[in-house]
Chains A and B, each alone.
Chain A
Amino acid sequence: MQDTSNALGAPTERREGPDKVTGAARYAAEHTPAGCAYAWPVPAAVARGEITAIDDSAALALPGVIDVLSHLNAPRLVEPDDATLAVLQDARVPHRGWYVALVVAETLEAAREGAAAVRVDYAVEPHDVTLRADHADAYVPEDTDGTSGEHVRGDADGAFDSAPVRVDAVYRVPPLHNHPMEPHAATARWHDGRLTVYDSSQGATTVRDVLAGMFALPKERITVVSEHVGGGFGSKGTPRPHVVLASMAARVTGRPVKLSLPRRELAAVVGHRSPTVQRVRLGAEKDGTLISVVHEVTSQTSRIKEFVETAAAATRVMYGSPHGRTTHRVVPLDVPSPSWMRAPGEAPGMYALESAMDELAVHLDIDPVELRLRNDTAREPDSSKPFSSRHLAECLREGARRFGWSERDPRTRSRAEGPVLVGSGVASATYPVLASPSRASAHAYPDGSYAVRVNATDIGTGARTVLAQVAADALGVPVERVRVAIGSSDLPDAPLAGGSSGTASWGWAVHEACTRLAKRLSEQQGQQLPPEGVGATADTAGTADAESEYARHAFGAHFAEVGVDTVSGEVRVRRLLGVYAAGHILNARTARSQFIGAMTMGLGMALTESSTMDAAFGDFAERDLAAYHVPVHADVPAIEAHWIDEDDPHLNPMGSKGIGEIGIVGTAAAIGNALRHATGVRLRELPLTPDRVLAGLARGM
């Protein structure tokens, strides 16, 4: 279908849609160079210890097995900044599931059988995988970027203690797993001293740079291709062990090597959302005005890498209060390294804060929308900076209007359909505006077509399409005249698709390159373009990452209606509605997809997704999609996403904020608050499964 509109904001259809539905789109594991071999990893079977012996004789004796790599024979790599990438480099086992060997074979089946035949002996050491808020090893991490560590304003604890009204509650979020549809996979090939890798990654430039460092190669001799990526949700934000293993195996064997990680092993090697224990204390006046907000978060990290689930960061942004303290504590355990998962920090943190706000509203008998409006603020509480734009109040009001909030009877258990209690809840959302420097080029050709080149990544969001729109807008031409090349590190360097910053970062550079190109074209108006066309480039270093005098964040409001079956304890969401203020929305169709996708993920976080750590073995118990319950279609009701288009001059040239994550942020709290409204039961641990709901109903809270 031809789209003649080039306006930013148009609902342009995604360009690679037909390729995806017809199977023409090729993902990392779907490239099979001639002579390709297959690899299968061997995970550690102990939670902590050291490898004492590896017997690969049985594996090597199997037909088709080419080689077995382990720390005994693998090439020594330059030590990476990210210790999770230092695979097969030493005998340490930092957690169960850590890769201790890799079998390369002629076929996938032979590689798998070979992996099962590798015998590994360990000197086992006692392990500790249990997160507790009072763990003796908990420490406050250094705050490197404003989202971590501890921030104190005024006398937060004293002000809380003397506040007329107090809420003091502890909320728990379990470990959560990203589980993108496409597992982490790489196909690597060495040829003429060059390395080419097809990798499932959220950012091929970073993957190339990290591989260049680890393999001590000039960047020009590595090409990383991530043309289509089947989701990542943060777990492909930086390189993961598979790409190092595939590259290493290809170098050792002299063969192209393909490695696709088994679904069951993802939980241990690609990162997870750390569980959090969060204590929130709200001290308020009797009219609901906040006096003090204290948010203390304890999360886990591994022995080899510090990762902080920055769950208190959003509390530094949300509501005005003269006093405040936000504290992160981390406990190093013998667990897999946690990492980013959609809205890292904000999603679990706003579950806690927005549940606590609901508790305060209930306590004071103030409407929860009204309570949030009363605590709206013109300046960011922690920094005192003015907001570049903040339309939280408008989102709350617009959401309330669309949802029919005014018809809600505030009393709990006020709506019953037989044994099913029905209730509704609200929560706010926020996500920071982020952008990183990017390069891009733009070319005009004599045939009237244009080409934009930037190493952006499409993780399913429609990056190609929106970048074409950005280019068309800057050039003033129809969008279908613009070709977009993305997904290869041979293209101009670009940052990852993460932190809801991809479109802002890449689009900024594309916009600049196209603006320059348009200027050049206008200068040679009337002249025939040379056959090779005319080009322009851009590099937004120093611009995209410049400090701002404004606090820049997106805001939103979530409304949920749930039915709670008092017989079975099952909670089902009936309606979910979000209103977002996230700058100028650049593509109404793909933006809506991202909003409702994130809301669905938030629904899973609220109701179904749970992972449990076996304390004896140090392993996550739910490791496939039958046991790790992401929501299915039957769980997902009519979801509505709306937005308030903001005109904010302090952002990027497109005037956009990120939209990939904010949809998950307040969803779980809205659903938990709706459960409370329906039943009178306040649950403070996710997910809200029948066992917990029944226990709550029995307690009659």
Chain B
Amino acid sequence: MKSFRYVRAHSVEEATAAHAGRPSSRYLGGGTNLVDLMKLGVESPRAVIDISALPLDSVEELRDGSVRVGATVRNSDLAAHPLVRERYPVLSQALLSGASGQLRNMATTGGNLLQRTRCPYFQDLAMPCNKRAPGSGCGARDGIHRDHAVLGHSRQCIATHPSDMAVALAALDAQVELYGARGRRTVPAAEFHRLPGERPDVDTEITHGELITGVLLPSATAGLPCAYRKARDRASYAFALASVAVVLSVEESVVREVRIAFGGLAHRPWRALRAERELLGGPPSGEAFRRAVDTELAEAEPLRDNSFKVPLARNLACDVLGRLAASPTGS
């Protein structure tokens, strides 16, 4: 069998040092994606650094009112946490719409962000895939791509990022906390994942040796009306055909705050900055929502078999915006 070194880390420093010292090492959180990829041969790390014992398993409120989520907090626990349910229900909804109960019990916050695309060509060693084997080509572009990207894709790669959680984080202006040889730094969740460009093999802004230690949920978006909606091929345990996370604050019939992020459309959660700019300060009307979302989606470049994602994303976004404008819980 393919042997690998297993390291059980007891501190963040120990974990990052072990990771940095081995070029082909991977962190192991819940293992719900990494272990699958190892079985498929897509990942064959020489060292697996188990970080599940690190003291990063709590959700705590910081003095400035923001909430810090440890990287090893399980998806189920995060979704159920009172602070999240009360202040950031969009995150709770997004988490609960993902995967299955069993997977959510295992999957961690950091691991969820670092999960890889479920593109069938990526998962099959016998197929070309620029993400898995740079330069081998993209089998999906002219092949099976109903589930693939309509925004921000490149000649090299049309994969989508599968996370629901990350979409909510992008809409909440969350920050991803990283720790590495160069110390601590934070990256906005909306920019943590990259667009594929010429380097589809690089999913995120994380550098080798760095570890996600947590996610910061800012006080600025706490308690704002927000909601998540996802369309999928079956009622549970299916990735998003398209999804949307919306944070919307309306006062005196004027949009005071709005953040919109789409899932299932791109190589990363797609923050709809154009639409947000267009809506900010304007009326929360159905017409304004439609126009703004259409502006955002105007740059979509659907492929042969996934043009449905554009009207689907528009419908979902307009629906959630409209419901939030009418009622803060969006119900």
Residues of A within 8 A of B (CB): 45, 64, 107, 109-110, 112-113, 116, 419, 567-570, 572, 607-608, 610, 612, 614-617, 619, 621-623, 626-627, 629, 631-635, 687, 689-691, 694-695, 698
Contacts and interface: CB of A to CB of B under 8 A. Distances in A.
Interface string B1-16: 1100000000000000
A568 B238 contact: no
A695 to B, nearest CB: 6
B41 interface: yes
B308 A695 contact: yes
13 contacts: A107-B1, A113-B2, A568-B229, A608-B234, A617-B143, A622-B120, A627-B120, A632-B236, A632-B237, A634-B234, A635-B236, A690-B312, A691-B312
Interface in B254-305: none
A567 B318 CA distance: 9
Nearest to A570: B231
B139 interface: yes
A439 to B, nearest CB: 44
A419 B143 CA distance: 34
B237 A626 contact: yes
A623 B237 CA distance: 15
A260 to B, nearest CB: 14
Main secondary structure of the interface of B (DSSP, over half): loop
Nearest to A616: B143
A626 B115 CA distance: 15
Given A622-B120, A623-B120, A690-B233, 13 more contacts: A567-B316, A614-B143, A616-B139, A617-B127, A621-B143, A623-B124, A626-B118, A627-B118, A629-B238, A690-B232, A690-B308, A691-B308, A698-B311
Interface string B235-256: 1111001000000000000000
A616 B142 contact: yes
Contacts, number: 89
B143 A608 contact: no
A109 B41 contact: no
B1 A569 contact: no
Contacts of A632: 100, 234-237
A690 B241 contact: yes
Contacts of A116: 41, 125
Nearest to B127: A617
Interface string B214-239: 00000000000000010111111110
Nearest to A611: B144
Interface residues of B, number: 32
Interface of B: 1-2, 41, 100, 118, 120, 124-127, 139, 142-144, 146, 229, 231-238, 241, 306, 308, 311-312, 315-316, 319
Given A608-B233, A626-B118, A629-B234, A568 B143 contact: no
Contacts of A633: 236
B142 A568 contact: no
Contacts of B306: 691
A698 B312 CA distance: 11
A107 B2 CA distance: 12
Contacts of B233: 608, 610, 629, 687, 689-690
B312 A112 contact: no
Nearest to B147: A627
A616 B144 CA distance: 10
A419 B144 contact: no
A112 B44 CA distance: 14
B1 A113 contact: yes
B143 to A, nearest CB: 5
B236 A634 contact: yes
B1 A110 contact: yes
Contact of B234 (A64, A109, A617, A631): A631
A612 B144 contact: yes
Contacts of A610: 233
A615 B145 CA distance: 12
A109 B120 contact: no
Give me the 3 closest cross-chain CB pairs, A-B, nearest first: A109-B1, A634-B235, A691-B308
Contacts of A627: 118, 120
Contacts of A690: 231-233, 241, 308, 312
B101 to A, nearest CB: 10
Nearest to A108: B1
B234 A621 contact: no
B59 to A, nearest CB: 27
Contacts of B142: 616
B235 A45 contact: no
B133 to A, nearest CB: 14
Nearest to A111: B1
Contact of A607 (B126, B234, B237): B234
A64 B124 CA distance: 25
A617 B241 CA distance: 24
Contact of A621 (B120, B125, B232, B315): B120
B139 A617 contact: yes
Contacts of A614: 139, 143-144
B143 A570 contact: no
A568 B118 contact: no
A614 B126 CA distance: 13
Contact of A567 (B118, B120, B241, B319): B319
A631 B316 CA distance: 23
Contacts of A107: 1
Given A112-B1, A622-B120, A691-B308, A572 B144 contact: no
B325 to A, nearest CB: 15
B1 A568 contact: no
Contacts of B1: 64, 107, 109-110, 112-113
B311 A694 contact: yes
Nearest to B126: A45
Given A568-B316, A627-B120, A691 B146 contact: yes
A558 to B, nearest CB: 20
B82 to A, nearest CB: 25
Contacts of A569: 231, 308, 312
B304 to A, nearest CB: 12
Contacts of B319: 419, 567
A691 B238 CA distance: 15
A635 B236 CA distance: 8
Nearest to A116: B41
Contacts of B124: 619, 623
Contacts of A635: 234-236
A61 to B, nearest CB: 14
A568 B234 contact: no
Nearest to B238: A629
A404 B264 CA distance: 40
Contacts of B2: 109, 113
Nearest to A636: B235
A631 B234 CA distance: 7
A113 B41 CA distance: 9
A419 B315 CA distance: 11
Contacts of B144: 612, 614, 621
